[in-house]
Chains A and B, each alone.
Chain A
Amino acid sequence: MNCTQSLDLLQERLDGLPLVDRTDLDRHIADCPECRQLHAAAARLEDGLRLLSPSVPPPGLTAKIVSRVAADRRRRLVLRRSAIVMAAASVLLAALLAYHPYSHEPGDSWMISKIKETWNSVFGLNDTPVAFTRIHSGPDTVVEFQPEEPSLTASVAEAGSAMVSLSKRAADETVGQTRLFIPEVIPAPPLMTSEPMQPIIEPPTESLRQAGNGMTAALDPVTSSARRAFSLFFREASTVVPAE
């Protein structure tokens, strides 16, 4: 027997299989200290494994896990039911939106009319209501949706009004936000009280007199200069003696 065979027997021994013939093994381990040590260690391992006590779960663990499992089951059940209800509602709503507005007369029922209103409001067709044209006659009337195409003028007008309303809204928002920063409302200053002016109706003479005064005032420098010139002339003339 060699070391490999001895090792195989050691594994079989630890597997719990009985050794049929130990003669060869005894002879080998008597001469091989390595294998002898290994088999001695295997005997110690078997002793230790017999002492190895299994780990016992704590007493309250079962109840704790059972309650957690029950709570988890309830939670998953609620989630599953909610998902089913939401899916069913989504399918129903999609079916109503996709089918009913085209297949009945407008105003047949309250629900249909509401759906059409919603349709018009979503797609911005308030000003141009949805036109439903009867394309088949008979008891099962099929109505087709044919929206009118807006003209270029109407489109431009609508864009202009939209810009105006947008600007107005932006301005309103700016004013509103600015007011938020003002701690208190400042009262507007009172208007100055003044008596109303009386209408002045002047006679024509007054106007002429004022015109004369104006002319006098305008000619006053000229006349004063002329007066001073004449007085100066006469004063000089009086002092001249005529030659005899």
Chain B
Amino acid sequence: MPWVGFVVCETFFSLPGIFWRVADVSADEAVLVRRCLRGDPAAVQALMERFQAEVYGLCVRLLSHRHDAEDVTQEVFLRVFRSLRRWDSSRPLKPWIMAIAVNRCRTWITQRVRRPELADYLQETAAAAPADDSAELLHEIRAALEDLRPEYRCVFVLFHEQGQPYEEIAETLERPVGTIKTWLHRARLEVLDRLRRRGLVTELPHSPEPLDGR
């Protein structure tokens, strides 16, 4: 039976390969961090480019304000580079940085008194949406996200926008995986309820549509 040998080979050769890849990533991050600690500007820029988009995207979604997101992104990386010595090199770097970003956003939300900037979203949707009701759909989804509790919104954005698995989100927010699942499920139901109330769900299909994945 040749498939048995294939399964055995896949089991015993691909799994260690996965661990080696994870170890390679961790070793690569450790080297990058050591270079940053020595003050290497190229390493600082490399670390920035690796995580900046996700940090900025999370800040935009959590703060609903682009200028605030820029300011908070700067603060996040300043704190990251100040406390880089305290990073545990046995754990991945990304959840550690995203945890700092979440904490900074939370602090910023409690301190600011400005109203959220919605004009950015409208411009973005108008440029990206086709001629159907997709623009309205996108706008309603973003508005629904703003109405969510901060922890629900954070979990929704990390899962659906940034594609992070439950375990990584749990590590970022320092909560159990079950809590993260509960928050995400509640966030989804609130968004779905808003879409229904806004009349964006008109068709009543008899069977769920097939999914293409996230």
Mark A residues whose CB is within 8 Å of B. Answer: 10-11, 13-16, 18-19, 22, 25-26, 29-30, 33, 36-58, 61-62, 64-66, 68-70, 72-73, 76
- Find the A residue at minimum CB distance from B142: A52
Identify which of A11, A22, A37, A56 contacts B204 (C-beta below 8 A): A37
CB neighbours of B93 from chain A (8 A): none
Q: A39-B208, A56-B53 are known contacts. Are A73 and B39 too (CB-CB below 8 A)? A: yes
Indicate with 1 or 0, residue by residue over B47-82, a CB within 8 angstroms of chain A CB atoms: 011001100110011000010011001100110011
Q: Is the CB of B41 within 8 A of A49?
A: no
Tell yes or no: B201 within 8 A of A by CB.
yes
Q: Is the CB of A30 within 8 A of B206?
A: yes
Tell yes or no: B213 within 8 A of A by CB.
yes
Inter-chain pairs besides A52-B160, A65-B52, 6 sampled, C-beta below 8 Å:
A25-B208, A40-B203, A41-B195, A44-B201, A51-B128, A65-B74
Q: A62-B48, A69-B77 are known contacts. Are A49 and B141 too (CB-CB below 8 A)? A: yes
CB neighbours of A43 from chain B (8 A): 205, 208-209
Q: Is the CB of B45 within 8 A of A66?
A: yes
Tell yes or no: B175 within 8 A of A by CB.
no
Identify which of A10, A25, A41, A73 contacts B201 (C-beta below 8 A): A41
Q: A44-B137, A69-B81 are known contacts. Are A54 and B53 too (CB-CB below 8 A)? A: yes
CB neighbours of A58 from chain B (8 A): 70
In the assembled complex, how far is the CB of residue A201 from the closest CB belonging to chain B, in whole angstroms?
Answer: 105
Chain B interface residue count, CB cutoff 8 Å, equals: 53
**A206–B144 CA distance with the chains assembled, in angstroms:** 134
Q: Is the CB of A33 within 8 A of B192?
A: no
Tell yes or no: B138 within 8 A of A by CB.
yes
**A48–B161 CA distance with the chains assembled, in angstroms:** 11
In the assembled complex, how far is the CB of residue A131 from the closest CB belonging to chain B, in whole angstroms?
Answer: 54
Q: Is the CB of B211 within 8 A of A48?
A: no
Q: Is the CB of A57 within 8 A of B56?
A: yes
CB neighbours of B214 from chain A (8 A): 15-16, 49
CB neighbours of A76 from chain B (8 A): 82
Q: Is the CB of B188 within 8 A of A45?
A: yes
Q: Is the CB of A52 within 8 A of B137?
A: no
**A233–B181 CA distance with the chains assembled, in angstroms:** 157
Tell yes or no: B35 within 8 A of A by CB.
no
CB neighbours of B45 from chain A (8 A): 62, 66
In the assembled complex, how far is the CB of residue A68 from the closest CB belonging to chain B, in whole angstroms?
Answer: 6
Q: Is the CB of B73 within 8 A of A61?
A: yes
Q: A48-B134, A52-B161, A57-B53 are known contacts. Are A72 and B78 too (CB-CB below 8 A)? A: yes
CB neighbours of A48 from chain B (8 A): 134, 137-138, 140-141
**A33–B205 CA distance with the chains assembled, in angstroms:** 10
Tell yes or no: B191 within 8 A of A by CB.
yes
In the assembled complex, how far is the CB of residue B177 from the closest CB belonging to chain A, in whole angstroms?
Answer: 13
Q: Is the CB of A26 within 8 A of B204?
A: no
Tell yes or no: B99 within 8 A of A by CB.
no
Identify which of A16, A55, A73 contacts B213 (C-beta below 8 A): A16
Tell yes or no: B91 within 8 A of A by CB.
no
Q: A47-B137, A69-B81 are known contacts. Are A41 and B185 too (CB-CB below 8 A)? A: no
Tell yes or no: B207 within 8 A of A by CB.
yes
Q: Which residues of B156-173 are within 8 A (CB) of A?
A: 160-162
Q: Is the CB of B53 within 8 A of A13?
A: no
Identify which of A22, A49, A65 contacts B73 (C-beta below 8 A): A65
Q: Is the CB of A33 within 8 A of B44?
A: no
CB neighbours of A41 from chain B (8 A): 192-193, 195-196, 200-201
**A47–B52 CA distance with the chains assembled, in angstroms:** 27
**A19–B205 CA distance with the chains assembled, in angstroms:** 16
Identify which of B61, B191, B207 contacts A26 (C-beta below 8 A): B207
CB neighbours of A19 from chain B (8 A): 208, 210-211
Q: List 6 A-B contacts (CB under 8 A).
A: A38-B196, A40-B201, A43-B208, A48-B140, A49-B141, A62-B52
